[in-house]
Amino acid sequence: MSDAAPQSGVGEWGRRVGLLGGSFNPAHDGHRHISRIALDRLALDEVWWLVSPQNPLKAADGLAPLAERMAAARAIADDPRLIVTDIERELGTIFTVDTVDALKRRFEHHRFVWLMGADILVQMPRWRRWYRLFASVPIGVFPRPTYSSRALSGTAARRFAGKKIRESQAPLLADMRPPAWVFLRARPHTASATRIREGR
């Protein structure tokens, strides 16, 4: 299987796919933890880990080579439903909103859900055209230690407060017309790529 093109499910109509983007520098148990919750609570068929060649909001210093991050992510994923891919390299996209648009064009019969931690929801207003991302794809948000309260009272959550669905509706999220998002209350995982890199 090419790193650049997920093959599992391609050609099948209506696959429900979670998208978890990031540097994965390195991948850790927290990524697998929220992916498995997403598979269960959002009734997804797969979760694709989109290993970014370079996060536009982060410095390149300290970023491990893409091939190393891909290999480490595969080792951590250890689940056939978790697909590790560097498809952004092939698509030539840097910003999340452009990646999602390109994936929707390429896999037009799939139903995508963007997955992220509460820490990302806090910083989302720094993203390019972040409000358009909400309009492009349903979003699932997961607890992160110390961030959840801030996230739910932050700029992005307030702007789309009327589009937040109840947790009981979470299995239907992939079928909903965006904007639609849910905060999934679950045991947060304490793993952090920053702390791992710093040896903490």
Checking if the pLDDT of 30 tops 60, the result is yes
Q: 57 pLDDT exceeds 90? A: no
Domain spans of the chain? 16-197
Query: Which CATH code fits 16-197?
Result: 3.40.50.620
Rounded average pLDDT over 4-25: 74
Residue 176 phi/psi, 5-degree rounding, is -85, 150
HSE at residue 24, side-chain half, CA atoms within 13 A, is 29
Higher pLDDT, 58 or 98: 98
pTM (two decimals): 0.87
* Distance in Å from the first CA to the final CA of the chain: 35
Q: How far apart are CA 43 and CA 23, in angstroms?
A: 25
pLDDT digits (tens, 9 = 90+) for 128-165: 999 999 999 999 999 988 888 999 999 999 999 999 99
